[in-house]
Homo-oligomer: A and B are copies of this chain.
Amino acid sequence: MNNPSLDSIVLSTRIRLARNLKDHPFPARLSAAEKSEVNAIVRDALLDGENGLRYLEMKDLSAIEAVSLAEKHLISPEFASDAAGRALLLSEDETVSIMLCEEDHVRIQVIEPGLSLETAWGKANALDEALSGRVSVAFDEKLGYLTQCPTNLGTALRASVMLHLPALSRAGLMPRLSSTIAKLGLTLRGTYGEGSKPVGEIFQLSNQVTLGISEQAAIQNLESIAKQIMQQEAQARQSLKNDSLFVDKIYRAYGILTSAYMLSCSECTDLLSLVRLGAALDILDIPIEALNRLLTQIQPATLQADAGRACSPAERDVMRAQKVKETLQRK
């Protein structure tokens, strides 16, 4: 888009394709041994030594490593919670992750930084073509790709963008925006935090409709609506920039992040959201990418995975504060 004030609003783009092998029941109806068979078939189809993927059995990962992958959105939390019969194909740079025997046999996922729906879609599509060139994929002329959950039938495509919407959130506009978006066949919901209280003001916008629409149309639709939301956020940010009480809040958030001895995950996420907004508005001189990385690095399991050991919540709060301080002071 080449518009810095809009670019900073999007954290990342994700494309996910669900696929199943033609002659095998859905994972829910497979034993662990049968799942391993399916995994081996897909692994042999996709591990071509060129795409940089490596194969991981989930049972070989510690619980902390598995949850950390979920925190990075590389696997689903559900996938992390039960290792039996499950495996993962993961690229070195973690932009491609393929869950094997989650709800479907194959879930291809590509994450790209910024608003990059076409790029992400191109990569996912190439992997899908590699797969379907080597195995028989369950496909019906009328229904499209067959998936365990009927809501994925058709393209079995989920495209999403992660949007940082602090100005719209603070203006109280999210509930109305979410319901408008729902009428357009998309979903807008908080990414972090539990239940109804989103923390960090980061929202995921994703498509819902997979039947009766082409992949290209779904992606274009998502991109067009994402851009409209980004415009609204950019406008709302401009008025915050002139509010000295708000500017004070941003500076204080930076002050606390660079000096606190302990930080809980939710406080840290909320403060990073403010600082990320400050960086986007050129109030603070901090690279947005470092803040994007921090949002994942401060998650409980990722902190522990990076430390290589399990830590108590109180220890984590100290480690988190340390991590944030080091990153922000280094810039």
Interface residues of A (CB under 8 A from B): 244-245, 247-248, 251-252, 254-262, 314, 318, 321
Contacts and interface: CB of A to CB of B under 8 A. Distances in A.
A-B pairs, top 3 by smallest CB distance, nearest first, are: A255-B259, A255-B255, A248-B261
A249 to B, nearest CB: 9
Contacts of A318: 244
Contacts of A252: 255-256, 259-261
A314 B255 CA distance: 21
A286 to B, nearest CB: 13
A317 to B, nearest CB: 9
Most buried by B among A251, A255, A321: A255
Nearest to A263: B248
A244 B244 CA distance: 33
A258 to B, nearest CB: 6
A251 B244 contact: no
Nearest to A253: B259
Contact of A247 (B244, B248, B261): B261
Contact of A256 (B245, B256, B262, B321): B256
A297 B260 CA distance: 26
Given A248-B262, A252-B256, 9 more contacts: A244-B261, A244-B262, A244-B314, A245-B262, A248-B321, A251-B259, A252-B255, A255-B258, A255-B260
8 contacts: A244-B262, A244-B318, A245-B262, A247-B261, A248-B260, A252-B256, A252-B259, A252-B260
A321 B244 CA distance: 13
A172 to B, nearest CB: 24
Contacts of A321: 248
A254 to B, nearest CB: 5
B256 A261 contact: no
Contacts of A251: 259-261
A68 B280 CA distance: 41
Contacts of A260: 248, 251-252, 255
A88 to B, nearest CB: 38
A260 B245 CA distance: 10
Most buried by B among A245, A256, A314, A318: A256
Nearest to A314: B244
Contacts of A244: 261-262, 314, 318
Contacts of A255: 252, 255-260
A258 B318 CA distance: 21
Contact of A259 (B258, B261, B314): B258
A149 B60 CA distance: 86
A318 B248 CA distance: 9
A246 to B, nearest CB: 9
Contacts of A261: 244, 247-248, 251-252
Nearest to A249: B261
